[in-house]
Structure 1
Amino acid sequence: MNIIWLGVPLWGYVVVGLLGGLVGIAELISRYPDSPVRAVATPPGIFYATINLLAAIAALAIGAVLSDTQPVPHETPHGEVLLFRTEDLLILLATTGFGALAFLRTKLITLRVGDADIGVGPSFILDTLLHAADRAVDRARAEPRAQLISDIMAPVSFEEAKLVLPTYCFAIMQNVSVEEQQKVALEIEALSGVDMPDRVKALNLGLLLLNIVGEHVLRIAVQNLEQEFAAAGRVLESVEQEMEGIDFDIAIVNLTPLCAELADMPEDQQIEVEYEVQRMKALSLTDQTRRYLFGLFLIKTFGADIVSKAIKAIRDDISLSDTPQPSLPHPTPPEQE
């Protein structure tokens, strides 16, 4: 027997409920990319998705009552029932389903309280629930994550892995953005300068990568590189040392084309590489971080051997110590009257 309420069949409530629940789940997944299933499966995650689900169903019921179109009589084997026409029902499902999600995220005004912006409106309730779910999910996952990262990073030394492990993880993923690589580089640079045991630094490095590449990729990367950390680390460190005396602005113009030439890279791929290089050049970073990011990018794209050969081949042309930086004309200050 078909269940009909307010002119809407049961499957209509199921559809909008699933839509609301899936949007809530998608928000949680976007906040916990390293372990989305575990985040959603926690009680707070289930509660947040359920709130979105119930809100969508409630909006459908309200929309059915307030709709300009009214249900019309339909004959069924069980008698006459009031039911929306198919086209009216589909419009109602779309408008109330998406409308409820938009309404819950609406900010009427935004108030500045201290250093925080607080939205006043329905979004405040949802933001509060999401914040509570975040904290609860974090607490529920803290112990498993600590145990997991301790297990994965057991054979890893921070000093040996700080360059090669991120590079290898990003190479496996392929689609890690320059911005994410920039964030990792800054975090690694900060960790390198902190006075703490190597083991603690290694655990922090693992947590940093876990948030981007996930458990499976990180575990595979560590297993594959376990016997090669020291050797691979020395290769990357040698490249970093060679770039230490290099003028970044000159190297970014000359070094990339030479690497592409040595690798015999097709022209269309060279255009893509040049685009990424220009994006990297525009980032607001220290010279050390820019050189580090540039070196990681070149090694990931061309390989350590080609990058080392290219640096050695044009070291005299791009060295800070041997080559004067190109002088730019300075504007003449106006004469004071």
Structure 2
Amino acid sequence: MEGWNQLVGVMGAWQVGPLANPPEAFWVVLIGLLIGAVETVSRYKGDPARALFSAPAALYIAVNVIACLGMLVCLRMMRPDWLFTDLKDDPDLQKLSLILASGFGAMTLFRSSLFRIKTADGELGFGPSFLLDTLLFASDRAIDRGVAPPRGNAVQAIMKDVAFERAQIALPVYCFALMQNVPSQEQRDVGVQVKELAAFGLPPEISAFNLGLILINVVGTGVLKQAVKDLGPYISYDPLAGDRRFTAIATLMNGFDVRQAQQLAEACFSLGRPVSLNGLGDLRIRIAQLGQEEIDSRLKALILGRWLVDLVGHSTVALAIESLKQGPGAPPPPPGQPPAAGNAQDSPRA
């Protein structure tokens, strides 16, 4: 009971103390903090908390606060009639007008320019906005350098087992479904970026990491991690990783007649998981080009096996090879019984 009385006494002292009616400077500082914080968060949607509590962001927010306080000092020194004469009979309205004019007026002033000229890097404004734009550019670069390493580590940990060919459509769609409120235009922009990424022809692992970075910018690390976990069996590599994985592919393709490459691919497409039309067309073209290469047939078989395993999975390729060996009319092996050729036990990618 005594503790409760002390708490009530503290609250009563606060209500009658200076904090019960904060000065104009308190509210002006609060406006500057909010404007700087909101602007920083809006520019780093992937990891807003880390960006907001970085030193460069703190400097940018501090400049916004100083600008607002500077405007408050200027208004008190100039004492414009519309504020100090016309509203002298209404102190509350005068105080509110002074706070709003200082907080938002400073932001308006520092975002204005006398004129703008076009340069190779875009438009350059001359005036008060030049100072804020320059500081914002420097803060962006500094925040980027601070946020980049944690983002890279997070993406590598999340996307290390993801096959880009399988995930490039399914993973963005699922992430957007989890979020529910991602704008349609932003979803289309991500789709364009993913198509451009697929056209670069980068190694699958690097493409998967870049896909993760694209999605983190929209949905954040937590949603991407959950989506990869949920879709793991459908978008991850089937076979073993590293040298063991390539050994499994070599065993699988041992003795395969590369003249049946297109038939094997069609069988894999029919038996395996859904593959995008772009992926199918690209693989058919690559198989046709591979058949014209002047290299050993065993190497061609290994290359073909790598492509197919990345696209549809080790188990599907093994089943398709067994079906081709048994002939066009032979039934596939019973469910649960592994194919005899190139059998390798699937396990999570290391």
The TM-score with structure 2 as length reference comes to: 0.60
Structure 2 residue aligned with 1:16: 28
SS at match of 1:117: strand
What displacement does 1:2 show? 7.3
What displacement does 1:12 show? 1.3
What displacement does 1:114 show? 2.9
* Counterpart Cα distance in 1 of 2:105 and 2:120: 32
* Counterpart Cα distance in 2 of 1:193 and 1:54: 48
What displacement does 1:228 show? 2.3
What displacement does 1:229 show? 2.1
What amino acid is the match of 2:113? Answer: K
What amino acid is the match of 2:187? Answer: Q
Map residues 1-337 of structure 1 onto 2, 5 A cutoff.
Answer: 11-67=23-79, 68=81, 70=84, 85-229=91-235, 234-235=273-274, 237=276
What displacement does 1:161 show? 0.6
What displacement does 1:97 show? 1.4
* Counterpart Cα distance in 2 of 1:24 and 1:160: 41
* Counterpart Cα distance in 1 of 2:92 and 2:165: 65
The TM-score with structure 1 as length reference comes to: 0.62
What displacement does 1:48 show? 0.3
**Bigger share in strand:** 1
- Seen in structure 2, the aligned counterparts of structure 1 residues 113 and 62 have a Cα distance that, compared at 3 Å, is same
Write out per-residue CA displacement over residues 90-133 of structure 1, whole angstroms, 9 at most, x where no aligned residue. Answer: 11111121111111111221111235210111111101000000
- Seen in structure 2, the aligned counterparts of structure 1 residues 97 and 181 have a Cα distance that, compared at 3 Å, is same
Contact 1:13 1:57 in 2 (8 A): yes
SS at match of 2:221: helix
What amino acid is the match of 2:215? Answer: L
Write out per-residue CA displacement over residues 19-69 of structure 1, whole angstroms, 9 at most, x where no aligned residue. Answer: 011111111111101111110101000000010011111111211221235
Contact 1:163 1:236 in 2 (8 A): no
* Counterpart Cα distance in 2 of 1:135 and 1:91: 36
What amino acid is the match of 2:34? Answer: L
* Counterpart Cα distance in 2 of 1:99 and 1:43: 26
Contact 1:21 1:50 in 2 (8 A): yes
Bigger Rg, structure 1 or 2: 2
What displacement does 1:142 show? 1.3
Once structures 1 and 2 are overlaid, which stretch shifts more, 207-216 or 111-120?
111-120
What amino acid is the match of 2:45? Answer: P
* Counterpart Cα distance in 2 of 1:229 and 1:61: 60
What amino acid is the match of 1:204? Answer: N
* Counterpart Cα distance in 2 of 1:119 and 1:161: 43
SS at match of 1:227: helix
What amino acid is the match of 1:235? Answer: P
- The alignment yields a C-alpha RMSD, in angstroms, of 2.8
What amino acid is the match of 2:274? Answer: V
* Counterpart Cα distance in 2 of 1:114 and 1:163: 36
Contact 2:166 2:234 in 1 (8 A): no
SS at match of 1:171: helix
Q: Percent identity?
A: 37
Contact 1:164 1:236 in 2 (8 A): no
What amino acid is the match of 1:14? Answer: F
SS at match of 2:274: helix
- Seen in structure 2, the aligned counterparts of structure 1 residues 150 and 62 have a Cα distance that, compared at 3 Å, is same
SS at match of 1:234: coil
Contact 1:59 1:97 in 2 (8 A): yes
The count of residues paired between Structure 1 and Structure 2 equals 227
Write out per-residue CA displacement over residues 196-246 of structure 1, whole angstroms, 9 at most, x where no aligned residue. Answer: 211000000000000001111101101111112269x9336369979xxxx
* Counterpart Cα distance in 2 of 1:213 and 1:125: 32
What displacement does 1:171 show? 0.9
Structure 2 residue aligned with 1:81: none
What amino acid is the match of 2:32? Answer: G
What displacement does 1:70 show? 4.8
- Seen in structure 2, the aligned counterparts of structure 1 residues 236 and 16 have a Cα distance that, compared at 3 Å, is farther
* Counterpart Cα distance in 2 of 1:218 and 1:93: 42
* Counterpart Cα distance in 1 of 2:129 and 2:145: 24
SS at match of 2:227: helix
